Structure 1
Amino acid sequence: MRSINFLLLSAIITIFAASLTFSQVRPPVPRASQKASVSQTVGTTEISVIYSRPAVRDRKVWGDWPQPAEGEATLDNQNTRPEGAPLVPFGHVWRAGANEATLFSAADDVLINGELLPAGKYSFHAIPGKDEWILIFNKDDGQWGSFSYDKAKDALRVKTKPQSVSESAELLTYGFEKVGDRSATLFLQWEKVKVPFTVEVKDVVGSTMQRLRSYVAAADASDPVPLINAANYAKANKQAEQAAVWFTAALKLVDQQIAAKPSFAALTRKGHILIGLDRTADAIAVFETAVERGKLDGVNAADVAALEKRIASLKTAKP
């Protein structure tokens, strides 16, 4: 009898464990709060937010919790929410969305309101307040809501000011505005509250140079154009040593093309490379050869004239 009872108990435990396992697989049906994402490239750095969009549905969104609740632990549980309580109570951790915790990612190191956040993926939470919000970037990027949120895993906390807006947003919305080549403003907006904060790429030139190295390495080794493109950016952004390396490599390839066929295009390209290497006198001589070649080969007259104008400009420019 004991062995039968043991087997029966084991079977019940197995079935219960299996039910827990299968309950983690969510059916492919529409959610009340639909999933969404928004992304923005700043410089060459991709920044994105993945979130779910709760709706107002004539409910009170923001406000104080009607009962005493010490600490900042989340109260974001619709099954235990008291009648009359707001969806998002002030002073407590909120998942900044619905369903899974909102996910923030940055391909490079960024500054959030001036504070460093290393490149990576983070769960994004917030502690709303009437006059001030705390924004939280947490290293646990796979949690459901904020229920397992652990402050010890925070990568960064920053403060920001909420804004009141006249037009109500029925669905929670994230977006980017004031986008520049180094920074952008990321905001969340729900009901009549908008919460903006700045995201600035810490080192635009450094991250771009890193990508240019990969771009050059992956390019056709016989094509000088990727080298020239990379060198032009490097020189324009005071990376003179690397610019010279790329220009020199491009010059070698162009010289090979000219040796095979001295075309107007190849000669013109060589002249531009020489300018990049600060060899203006040599560039002028090559441009003049290109003009002669262009006229002999019947190249478009406008292109030849443009190069002649460029030569004249170089000759009159102050050293």
Structure 2
Amino acid sequence: MKKLIIGGISAIFLLVANPMNAQEEDQVNFSKEELKFSKVDASPMDLSLYRDKDKAAVARVIYSRPQKRNREIFGKLVPFGEVWRTGANEATELTLYKDMKVADATVKAGTYSLYTIPGEKEWVVILNSKTNTWGAYEYTDKEDKVRINVPVRKAPNTIESLSMTFQEANNGADLLIGWDDSYVKVPFKNVK
């Protein structure tokens, strides 16, 4: 019995004398090892969300934002007449939380890849049902849900990073896509 009491007292003394807990021990281990996180992407991911007057989500676009960096963008870095992922890295993704009209087509709620074919005077905007794709390498027009031609507009100032935002419009919203000295408006209308 005497050994049991002395053993218990010794254990308590060790705990009091060395109060390092598991969290502190982990911090010590981290300082001995180098944590390896990826660097910030040169074309960081961003999103734009459109909410209606009742604050309900209507549409969201997720895209990567390449930078101009003194480069000639349209017609050079992004060739005219070719399918573009409309950003960098993965294809741009558009989610509609309710059915919407794009041009004369009704597009069901869901997630789509948003591709474009830039031209000097107009762009073809494409909603495609194949998602989770890198670039436009897997693009096929067999998966297109809608195509719409929209005019190219002159930006009032240089847009350094590819940018997208929703702007409230009559009976819906326009998705503005701008970069360098140009932008386009893609109209999304509420289904009546």
Which TM-score band (shorter chain)? 0.7 to 0.9
| TM-score, normalised with respect to structure 2 | 0.76
More helix, by proportion: 1
SS in structure 1 of the partner of residue 142 of structure 2: helix
1:36 corresponds to which residue? 46
Q: Whole-Å Cα distance in 2 between the matches of residues 147 and 126 of structure 1? A: 13
Q: Whole-Å Cα distance in 1 between the matches of residues 167 and 47 of structure 2? A: 15
1:119 corresponds to which residue? 109
CA RMSD of aligned residues (A): 1.5
2:93 is aligned with 1:103: yes
Q: Whole-Å Cα distance in 2 between the matches of residues 40 and 125 of structure 1? A: 19
| Aligned equivalent of 2:64, options 30, 42, 52 | 52
Q: Aligned-pair distance for 1:163?
A: 0.2
Aligned-pair identity in percent equals 32
Instruction: Answer yes or no: is the 8 Å Cα contact 1:133–1:162 preserved in 2.
Output: yes
Which runs of structure 2 are paired with 1:231-246 in the superposition (5 Å)? none
Aligned residues: 154
Q: Aligned-pair distance for 1:179?
A: 4.3
Consecutive unaligned residues in structure 2, runs of 5 or more: 1-36
| TM-score, normalised with respect to structure 1 | 0.46
Which runs of structure 2 are paired with 1:250-261 in the superposition (5 Å)? none
SS in structure 2 of the partner of residue 152 of structure 1: helix
1:89 corresponds to which residue? 79
SS in structure 2 of the partner of residue 197 of structure 1: strand
Q: Whole-Å Cα distance in 2 between the matches of residues 32 and 195 of structure 1? A: 24
Instruction: Answer yes or no: is the 8 Å Cα contact 1:42–1:179 preserved in 2.
Output: no
Bigger Rg over Cα: 1
Instruction: Answer yes or no: is the 8 Å Cα contact 1:135–1:159 preserved in 2.
Output: yes
The runs of at least 4 aligned residues of structure 1 exceeding 4 Å deviation read none
Instruction: Answer yes or no: is the 8 Å Cα contact 1:37–1:48 preserved in 2.
Output: yes
SS in structure 2 of the partner of residue 89 of structure 1: coil
Q: Whole-Å Cα distance in 2 between the matches of residues 114 and 150 of structure 1? A: 22
More strand, by proportion: 2
2:150 is aligned with 1:160: yes
Q: Aligned-pair distance for 1:58?
A: 0.7
1:136 corresponds to which residue? 126
Q: Whole-Å Cα distance in 2 between the matches of residues 114 and 41 of structure 1? A: 22
2:151 is aligned with 1:145: no
Instruction: Answer yes or no: is the 8 Å Cα contact 1:45–1:201 preserved in 2.
Output: no
